[in-house]
């Protein structure tokens, strides 16, 4: 009778505890997720995305995107990647999980700075 009366309490509370524990372990303990960020790009050497420094886009900057596993990045640079050179290149221990993405108009990227086809980069 009690179970019927408090059915939602008895079922949802354990499931909610499991949900919180799983989220905690995945995101805070093991860093089991990908991180992506922008890296400075030289338009004379690479095909770069164009970003804006303000809403009116009076000043532009050039970047490429880099994606890595958070656990690897944490080992390589710690919590702050600002002055960490390893954050902006793919290392051996990144294996296949590290991806650098340059601007490619043929894949739908609208504006690229000093674009050269990927074969020439």
- Does position 5 bind other proteins by CB under 8 A? yes
Binding other proteins by CB under 8 A: which of 36, 95, 101, 117? 36
Binding other proteins by CB under 8 A: which of 2, 15, 42, 113? 15
**CB of 67 closer than 8 Å to CB of 101:** yes
The DSSP annotation for 28-71 comes to: IIS--SEEEEEEE--TTTS-EEEEESSTT--SEEEEEEEEEEHH
- Does position 101 bind other proteins by CB under 8 A? no
Shortest spacing between CB 61 and other proteins, in angstroms: 11
How far is it, in rounded angstroms, from Cα 49 to Cα 38?
10
What is the total count of residues that contact other proteins (CB under 8 A)?
31
Give the SS3 label for residue 107.
helix
Six-digit token pair at 114?
A: 């000093």
Residue ranges in contact with other proteins by CB under 8 A: 4-5, 7-8, 11-12, 15-16, 18-19, 22-24, 26-28, 31, 33-38, 67, 70, 73-74, 79-82
């Amino acid at each position: 009778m009690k179970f019927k009366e408090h059915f939602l309490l008895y079922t949802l509370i354990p499931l909610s505890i499991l949900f919180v524990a799983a989220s905690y372990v995945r995101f805070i303990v093991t860093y089991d997720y990908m991180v992506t960020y922008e890296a400075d790009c030289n338009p004379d050497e690479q095909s770069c995305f164009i970003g804006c420094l303000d809403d009116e886009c009076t000043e532009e900057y050039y970047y490429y995107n880099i994606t890595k596993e958070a656990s690897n990045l944490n080992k390589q640079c710690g919590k702050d990647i600002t002055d960490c050179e390893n954050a902006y290149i793919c290392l051996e221990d990144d294996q296949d999980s590290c991806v650098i993405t340059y601007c490619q108009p043929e894949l739908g990227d609208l504006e690229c700075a000093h674009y050269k086809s990927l074969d020439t980069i």
